[in-house]
Amino acid sequence: MPTPFRTTLWRVLLMQLVALMLLGLLQGRYDLVAAP
Protein backbone atom coordinates (compact mmCIF):
# COMPACT_ATOMS: atom_id res chain seq x y z
CA MET A 1 0.00 0.00 0.00
CA PRO A 2 1.48 3.42 -0.94
CA THR A 3 2.57 5.71 1.88
CA PRO A 4 0.02 8.50 2.49
CA PHE A 5 1.29 11.86 1.28
CA ARG A 6 1.01 13.50 4.69
CA THR A 7 3.39 10.86 6.12
CA THR A 8 5.82 11.50 3.28
CA LEU A 9 5.61 15.24 3.88
CA TRP A 10 6.42 14.82 7.56
CA ARG A 11 9.30 12.48 6.74
CA VAL A 12 10.84 14.97 4.29
CA LEU A 13 10.41 17.87 6.70
CA LEU A 14 11.89 15.79 9.53
CA MET A 15 14.86 14.81 7.36
CA GLN A 16 15.35 18.46 6.36
CA LEU A 17 15.21 19.49 10.02
CA VAL A 18 17.76 16.81 10.99
CA ALA A 19 20.08 17.94 8.16
CA LEU A 20 19.80 21.59 9.20
CA MET A 21 20.35 20.66 12.85
CA LEU A 22 23.50 18.67 12.03
CA LEU A 23 24.84 21.55 9.93
CA GLY A 24 23.97 23.92 12.80
CA LEU A 25 25.84 21.70 15.26
CA LEU A 26 28.86 21.62 12.93
CA GLN A 27 28.83 25.41 12.70
CA GLY A 28 28.23 25.81 16.45
CA ARG A 29 31.11 23.49 17.31
CA TYR A 30 33.75 24.72 14.89
CA ASP A 31 32.94 28.22 13.63
CA LEU A 32 34.95 30.89 15.38
CA VAL A 33 32.19 33.46 14.85
CA ALA A 34 32.21 34.83 18.40
CA ALA A 35 35.91 35.58 18.38
CA PRO A 36 37.19 39.13 17.75
Partner 1 sequence: MHWINWAIVAVYLTIVVFDGLRRTRGTTNIEGYFLANRSLPWWAVGLSVMATQLSAITLIGTTGQGATDGLRFIQFYFGLPIAMVILGVTIVPFLHGAKVFTAYEFLEKRFDAKTRSLTSFLFLLSRGMSCGTIMAAPSVVLSAIFGWDITWCVALIGIPTVIYTVLGGVQAVTWADVKQMFVIVGALTAIVVVLIMRMPVPLDNALEIAGATGRLRVFDFSFNLSETYTFWSGILGGTFLMLSYFGTDQSQVQRYLAAKSVSEARSSLLMSAYWKIPLQALILLIGVLVFLFYTFTPAPMLYNPQHSAQVQQKEPATFAALEERYSSAIAKRELAARRASAELSDGVDMTSSSALFDFRSADSSVNVVRKDALAAAGRVTGEASRDVNYIIPRFVLDHLPLGFAGVFLAAVLAAAMSSIAAELNSLSTATVVDFYQRWFRKEGSDAHFLFVSKTATAIWGVFACVVAVYAANLGSLIEVVNRFGSFFYGSILGVFILAMLPRTKALGAFVGLLSGMAAVAAVSFGVPSVSFLWHNVIGAVVVVAVGTVLSVGGGRMEEPRTP
Q: Under the criterion CB under 8 A, does residue 23 sit at the interface with partner 1?
A: yes
Residues in CB range of 33: below 8 A, 6 or more apart: 27
**Any contact of residue 19 with partner 1 (CB under 8 A)?**
yes
Query: Under the criterion CB under 8 A, does residue 5 sit at the interface with partner 1?
Result: yes
Which whole-number Å values give the CA distances from 25 to 8, 9, 11, 28, 31, in the listed order? Answer: 25, 24, 21, 5, 10
Does residue 21 belong to the site contacting partner 1 (CB under 8 A)?
no
Binding residues (CB under 8 A) for partner 1: these are: 2, 5, 8-9, 12-13, 15-16, 19-20, 23-24, 26-27, 29-35
